[in-house]
Amino acid sequence: SPSGIRVQGAPATDAESMRGCRLNAIKVFLSLSKSKDGARILMNNNELMSLLGSISGTMTADENTLCMAIFTNLSRDAVNLEKLGRISNLFDILARGMRSRSIECRKCAVLTVQNLSCDISFRRRLGTDSILLENLSAHALGENNDESNVVKEIKLAAIHSLRNLSAEPCNLVSIT
């Protein structure tokens, strides 16, 4: 049916069942990531973080947005930043999130970069990633003519991220 609601007793396809299971699992992890203690527990599970890193950006827009929201929540706690830095493809994940068609996914990706840019140890790494800088600049300059509140939040977070990155002297050449 167009609403996505099945008639009682209608069989679900395997693909729909798998997608539903993935969404439910991701929502559980998202709920856990919202509390400081839950976020630390998630960060200490290397297998889960590796899985999250490998699946982010490879699923449907809804699933990818939830994954990006988990990264945003995890990046809020300074204790988690060192372990987030161990995710080998973290910057690729964030760059994909910033280019997503989903405005919420873009918002979460930019907020995650903003959180990371508050930490001195991340500033150098972020400041040398040309793809992230290009995406941040595009969001900061507001190439999108849509002026909704979410777009304004994205723009503000991108501006603050660039400001944080510019506080690191070695980044001035790559930013300009």
Mind listing the pLDDT tens digit for each residue in 123-133? 888 888 888 88
* Long-range CB contact pairs, 78-87, < 8 A, 24+: 78/119, 79/40, 79/43, 80/39, 80/40, 80/43, 81/116, 81/119, 81/121, 81/122, 82/121, 83/43, 83/44, 83/49, 84/43, 84/116, 85/121, 85/122, 85/125, 86/49, 87/49, 87/50, 87/52, 87/53
Give pLDDT, residue 145: 61
Give pLDDT, residue 2: 46
pTM of the model: 0.86
Residue whose C-alpha is closest to residue 121's, from 73, 172, 84: 84
Amino acid identity, residue 175?
I
pLDDT tens, residue by residue, 30-84: 999 999 999 999 999 999 999 998 889 888 899 999 999 999 999 999 999 989 9
C-alpha 54/C-alpha 134 separation (Å) is 23
Residue whose C-alpha is closest to residue 94's, from 61, 136, 51, 62: 136
Amino acid identity, residue 67?
C
pLDDT over 90 percentage in the chain: 51
Structure tokens at 63: 């699933």
